[in-house]
Chains A and B, each alone.
Chain A
Amino acid sequence: MALVPLSLLAAGCGKKQNALAPASHQSQDIATLFWWMTGVAAVGLGVVVALLLLAWIRSGRRGAGGDTQGAKPGERVGWYVVLTGGVLVPILLISALFVIGDVFVIRTTEAPAAGSTKRTILVIGHQWWWEVRYPGTSAVTANEIHIPARTPVRLEVRTADVIHSFWVPELNRKIDTLPGSTNEIELYADAVGRYRGDCAEFCGLQHAHMGIWVYADPPAKFAKWLARQSRPAAPPTGAQASAGRAAFLSGACANCHQIRGTSASSGVGPDLTHVADRETLGALTIPNTPSYLHDWIRNSQRFKPGNQMPSFNGLPEREIRDLVAYLEERK
């Protein structure tokens, strides 16, 4: 019964957010451990089911009645099975599991020490988006992390508000973000690609819409990306974009969103300096296209009800189009 869906899983219904489609040695070790444990568990369940079936067959043959109450027939055999199956075998198997999992595999998934990698990235969880910073540069972005492929990166995770949990299953296990402290995890991708993650600790109304993309780029591409992210915003080109910039700075946008190189410097919401470079809006809630961006600004509550960005239904249509034009240039 279990084998069919399990094989579907393994056959790679695509790389999505699949713990059994590992893309790093950490996730690979965890996945291998899982398959072995499942195999042994299936055998264990099989033994128990066999015993119950045996009872059913024997009872069918012997029929009802028979005063077995006082005599305790087969009690000796019973004790042997209980002590073997219930004590000896579990002690052996669990000890093996403990050693393999908690002495060996744990070394690869343990938090990396400071200075052990060439690069450290800082991720700060917010209700309900991820702030991403590259210490040593002025790069700030949101809901997307870029790392060079096949390079271990140390991730420091914090929270600005409640407990979140950073989890990209294809790359590593999850790590919680706790107020007042910093946790660490290693991020390593053994192939170029993109890997999806989610917040994995209930953090309020829009916990369900707090995804994150991790892009593992070829090193040269990564360097170019990082350099671009570090630059402040370029000036707007054209009248509509200029109008949009003016609207951004004089309106409510600047109260929450930073665009480096302008007077907007608030950290309440995501940094929008290079927002057009990102694939999604609202932490992987909707695609980042002009039409979606337009709808998001007008009424983000429709896509992500309860999120911290109010709806701007009262804004004139022209103003929203100007804003979209300006933001679409933020690459």
Chain B
Amino acid sequence: MAIATPPTPAAEARVERLEVMWQSRPGVLGWLMTTDHKRIGLLYFWTTLVLFGAGGIEAMLMRTQLIKPNNDLVSPETYDQLFTLHGLTMIFFFIIPMTTGAFGNYLIPLMIGARDMAFPRMNALSYWIFLASAIFLYTSLALGMAPNAGWFDYVPLANKTFTPGHNIDFYALAVIFNSIASTLTAGQFIVTILKSRAPGMSFNRMPLFCFAFLAASFGLLFALPPLSADNIFLFLDRNVGTHFFDPSHGGAALLWQHLFWIFGHPEVYILIVPAFGIATSIIPAFTQRKLVAFPLVAIAELLVVFIGFGVWAHHMFATGMSTTALIFFAGATSMVVIPSTIQVFAWCMSFVLGVARFKTPLLFIAGFIFMFVTGGLTGIMFVAIPFDQQVTDTYFIIAHFHYIIFGAAVFPIFGGMYYWFPKVTGKLYFERPGQISFWLIFAGTNLLFFPMHLVGLLGMPRRVYTYPGNLGWTTYNVIETIGGYLTLVGILVLFGNLVWSYLRAPAAGPDPWHGPTLEWVTSSPPPEYDFAVIPKVSSAYPNWDVEDREEDRRKLASGVLLLDQGHEQVEVTPVDGWLSRTVEMPHESPWPVLLALCLSLVFVMLLLQHFAIAGLMGILSLLTLLGWHSKEPQEA
């Protein structure tokens, strides 16, 4: 049902009411106070793109430094900060906020037929905390003291003795700060997906996108606390003199690694599972067929995160743990492969059994499948412990995880940008340059990452700022650097195309792809209130259910489930999706950005070791929280 063409005068009047009620304040103030999930999604989108650029520059500087042996483009200090920031930025400040913050925020309410997230102000808070944590981290770079012990920051290198400067304090505090934003987002998605679905959308009728984001959200919820605990210990060891990691006083260096990887392994599934959600949205649209083995894929998406909590020590195979422990973790790692292989074949068979239209979004998904399988196969090789012990900490592992992360997370992100571009902007992107951008990026990333397998086997360790010229590594490094530049060109073409399309492309209409899910029901872009009528849902592909969409049009005319008495939204029962109650939603609010500001001050004071003032800022934050909860929805 396209709001653009309401059928009767009565319906038009109702839509007019909704438009007025849900209007945003104009200007900058409107953006600062927004709680609209679409605006928050867009804020995340642009912010993460800037950070993607930063991470990309870090990568290009490293690749350029490595183009020849004994190069001196950058000093070892700078190089160490570059590779640390590159990892931190791409993981915490690009992929997670882009998939969850941008795609998740914008699309989840639309896909479940809701008007907004369950806690709109907390959603805004997530964004402002995320932004603050990014600024906090990059301030360290501006001051020349960016973290420099790698994104997993092993102790004792990261403790005060060996890295006395503030670099690691920036690391610990930025990671804790950032994890607050992600935890809030995870909780938000879980509650929204469970409670805010349109009536009739029982659990098994949820789009696979929602299964994926639910899985990733549970992952974040349970994986982030161990990371925070680790960084609390690190901060205390460095600033208060505790001995968590100091063997001379009863501590243990491996304690850091265990807690880190208990977070770190689920994290890598959290990185790719939302991207799986994007892929399983694009495939049905461009094959015009429901996804093969839908129930298996839904379960697999949840299982891969769940099993992923039990495999962490496979990142520690070379640390000298007992053979029994090693074998346990190798066994658990074997199990986590199965949900992934299930999904790979389900995706491929959906391509084969539908009518595949290889437009740009589907090209990126085909590329994603190729890259993910390649990276996954080398991942399976690590089940063999002796082989892992030979190639871990070399360029072989860098190849593995970049095939996975770039291939299985970034390719779907790019595909998703093209797929939902018409929905968000109302314009249809230009197809030809889109395809060119895909092929450039595909060629570039393979040229960049494939040789890394070989040079790693030839003995090149990771995290080296330079290398000798007589070990046969030079040619591979040259090829990789060329691949990097080719990828850069492809990415520039991609964004250039999107910008040009925004400026010049023809209008897209509400549903250019005949997509399967509810976001294609609304106008492009959607109105502030998303849906005039909360949609009727009878299957997991609601936009293909023609009778239900007709019924929505009739409801608009008669006013049923219009919810126009305020900023209203439905709550349903979590499993079956029965209507439970109607709730009043908060609209715009200054409190989220104010609270984020107070929390920033807490972290800045902790960094400067002004602990008492940090405590005061904490109290200020609590007072802000008090203000936040001063007006109740019925009083608004």
User: What is the CA–CA distance of A196 and B468 in the complex, to the nearest angstrom?
Assistant: 12
A63 — nearest CB in chain B belongs to which residue?
B355
**Min C-beta distance of A155 to chain B, whole Å:** 12
CB-CB under 8 A from A220, the residues of chain B are none
User: What is the CA–CA distance of A58 and B460 in the complex, to the nearest angstrom?
Assistant: 43
Complex partner residue of A64 from B76, B351, B357, B377, CB under 8 angstroms: B357
**Min C-beta distance of B468 to chain A, whole Å:** 8
CB-CB under 8 A from B370, the residues of chain A are 45, 48-49, 52
For the complex, is B188 an interface residue (Cβ under 8 Å from A)? Answer: no
CB-CB under 8 A from A205, the residues of chain B are 76-77, 80
* Contact residues of B between 374 and 412, Cβ < 8 Å to A: 374, 377-378, 380-381, 383-387, 389-394
For the complex, is B463 an interface residue (Cβ under 8 Å from A)? Answer: yes
A78 — nearest CB in chain B belongs to which residue?
B292
For the complex, is A235 an interface residue (Cβ under 8 Å from B)? Answer: no
A50 — nearest CB in chain B belongs to which residue?
B348
CB-CB under 8 A from B252, the residues of chain A are 180
For the complex, is B630 an interface residue (Cβ under 8 Å from A)? Answer: no
User: What is the CA–CA distance of A106 and B330 in the complex, to the nearest angstrom?
Assistant: 12
* Contact residues of A between 160 and 181, Cβ < 8 Å to B: 161-163, 165, 167, 169, 173-176, 178-181
A58 — nearest CB in chain B belongs to which residue?
B352
Q: Which of the 9-residue segments B138-146, B338-346, B580-588 touches chain A?
A: B338-346
Q: Which of the 9-residue segments B16-24, B27-35, B450-458 touches chain A?
A: B450-458
**Min C-beta distance of B252 to chain A, whole Å:** 7
State whether A176 touches B320 (Cβ < 8 A).
Answer: yes
B374 — nearest CB in chain A belongs to which residue?
A45
The binding surface of chain B is classed by DSSP as: helix
State whether B392 touches A174 (Cβ < 8 A).
Answer: yes
What does the 1/0 interface line of A82-117 toward B look like (CB < 8 Å)?
Answer: 100111001100110110111001101111000000
Complex partner residue of B320 from A37, A52, A81, A178, CB under 8 angstroms: A178
CB-CB under 8 A from B80, the residues of chain A are 204-205
CB-CB under 8 A from A162, the residues of chain B are 154, 156-157, 162
Complex partner residue of A33 from B157, B341, B386, B458, CB under 8 angstroms: B386
State whether A167 touches B338 (Cβ < 8 A).
Answer: no
State whether B320 touches A198 (Cβ < 8 A).
Answer: no
B300 — nearest CB in chain A belongs to which residue?
A86
A55 — nearest CB in chain B belongs to which residue?
B351
A211 — nearest CB in chain B belongs to which residue?
B468
For the complex, is A261 an interface residue (Cβ under 8 Å from B)? Answer: no
State whether B386 touches A95 (Cβ < 8 A).
Answer: no
For the complex, is B75 an interface residue (Cβ under 8 Å from A)? Answer: yes
State whether B288 touches A66 (Cβ < 8 A).
Answer: yes
Bin chain B's interface residue count. Answer: 35 or more
State whether B345 touches A81 (Cβ < 8 A).
Answer: yes
CB-CB under 8 A from A173, the residues of chain B are 318, 386, 389-390
State whether B384 touches A78 (Cβ < 8 A).
Answer: no
User: What is the CA–CA distance of A6 and B471 in the complex, to the nearest angstrom?
Assistant: 16
State whether A41 touches B459 (Cβ < 8 A).
Answer: no
State whether B454 touches A9 (Cβ < 8 A).
Answer: yes
State whether A68 touches B346 (Cβ < 8 A).
Answer: no
For the complex, is A290 an interface residue (Cβ under 8 Å from B)? Answer: no
**Min C-beta distance of B463 to chain A, whole Å:** 4
What does the 1/0 interface line of A1-14 toward B look like (CB < 8 Å)?
Answer: 11001100100011
CB-CB under 8 A from B154, the residues of chain A are 162-163, 201-202
CB-CB under 8 A from A181, the residues of chain B are 247, 320
* Contact residues of A between 5 and 32, Cβ < 8 Å to B: 5-6, 9, 13-14, 16-20, 26-27, 29-30
Q: Which of the 9-residue segments A69-77, A142-150, A271-279, A319-327 touches chain B?
A: A69-77
**Min C-beta distance of B348 to chain A, whole Å:** 4
Given A48-B369, A75-B353, A208-B464, A85 and B288 contact (CB-CB distance below 8 Å): no
User: What is the CA–CA distance of A100 and B330 in the complex, to the nearest angstrom?
Assistant: 12
* Contact residues of B between 522 and 577, Cβ < 8 Å to A: 541, 544
State whether B384 touches A97 (Cβ < 8 A).
Answer: yes
User: What is the CA–CA distance of A179 and B243 in the complex, to the nearest angstrom?
Assistant: 13
For the complex, is A207 an interface residue (Cβ under 8 Å from B)? Answer: yes
**Min C-beta distance of A245 to chain B, whole Å:** 33
CB-CB under 8 A from A85, the residues of chain B are 341, 345
A178 — nearest CB in chain B belongs to which residue?
B253
For the complex, is B149 an interface residue (Cβ under 8 Å from A)? Answer: yes
Given A58-B352, A59-B356, A173-B318, A97 and B380 contact (CB-CB distance below 8 Å): yes
**Min C-beta distance of B155 to chain A, whole Å:** 8
User: What is the CA–CA distance of A49 and B349 in the complex, to the nearest angstrom?
Assistant: 12
For the complex, is B331 an interface residue (Cβ under 8 Å from A)? Answer: yes
State whether A56 touches B467 (Cβ < 8 A).
Answer: no
State whether B373 touches A45 (Cβ < 8 A).
Answer: yes
CB-CB under 8 A from A55, the residues of chain B are 348, 351-352, 356
User: What is the CA–CA distance of A65 and B149 in the complex, to the nearest angstrom?
Assistant: 55
User: What is the CA–CA distance of A240 and B328 in the complex, to the nearest angstrom?
Assistant: 62
For the complex, is B254 an interface residue (Cβ under 8 Å from A)? Answer: yes
A59 — nearest CB in chain B belongs to which residue?
B356
For the complex, is A206 an interface residue (Cβ under 8 Å from B)? Answer: yes
CB-CB under 8 A from B318, the residues of chain A are 165, 173-176, 200-201
B342 — nearest CB in chain A belongs to which residue?
A86
User: What is the CA–CA distance of A97 and B451 in the complex, to the nearest angstrom?
Assistant: 25
State whether B323 touches A110 (Cβ < 8 A).
Answer: yes
State whether A69 touches B338 (Cβ < 8 A).
Answer: no
**Min C-beta distance of B243 to chain A, whole Å:** 12
Complex partner residue of A18 from B346, B384, B458, CB under 8 angstroms: B458
User: What is the CA–CA distance of A45 and B378 in the complex, to the nearest angstrom?
Assistant: 11
Given A5-B451, A72-B289, A163 and B385 contact (CB-CB distance below 8 Å): no
* Contact residues of B between 119 and 163, Cβ < 8 Å to A: 149-150, 154, 156-157, 162
* Contact residues of B between 403 and 426, Cβ < 8 Å to A: none
Given A66-B355, A179-B253, A169 and B390 contact (CB-CB distance below 8 Å): yes
Given A19-B458, A173-B318, A68 and B288 contact (CB-CB distance below 8 Å): yes
For the complex, is A203 an interface residue (Cβ under 8 Å from B)? Answer: yes
B353 — nearest CB in chain A belongs to which residue?
A74
Complex partner residue of B383 from A91, A102, A163, A169, CB under 8 angstroms: A102
User: What is the CA–CA distance of A90 and B74 in the complex, to the nearest angstrom?
Assistant: 45
CB-CB under 8 A from A26, the residues of chain B are 386
For the complex, is A138 an interface residue (Cβ under 8 Å from B)? Answer: no
**Min C-beta distance of B421 to chain A, whole Å:** 20
CB-CB under 8 A from A49, the residues of chain B are 370
For the complex, is B466 an interface residue (Cβ under 8 Å from A)? Answer: yes
User: What is the CA–CA distance of A50 and B470 in the complex, to the nearest angstrom?
Assistant: 40
Q: What are 10 inter-chain pairs, A to B, with CB distance below 8 A?
A: A17-B459, A19-B459, A51-B348, A72-B289, A82-B342, A87-B341, A98-B384, A178-B253, A199-B461, A204-B162
Further pairs besides A5-B451, A73-B289: 13, Cβ < 8 Å: A6-B454, A33-B386, A34-B387, A70-B290, A77-B353, A82-B292, A86-B341, A87-B341, A101-B384, A161-B162, A175-B320, A200-B461, A204-B162
Per CB-CB distance, the 7 closest pairs between chain A and chain B, nearest first, are A180-B247, A17-B459, A101-B384, A173-B389, A78-B292, A55-B351, A183-B320
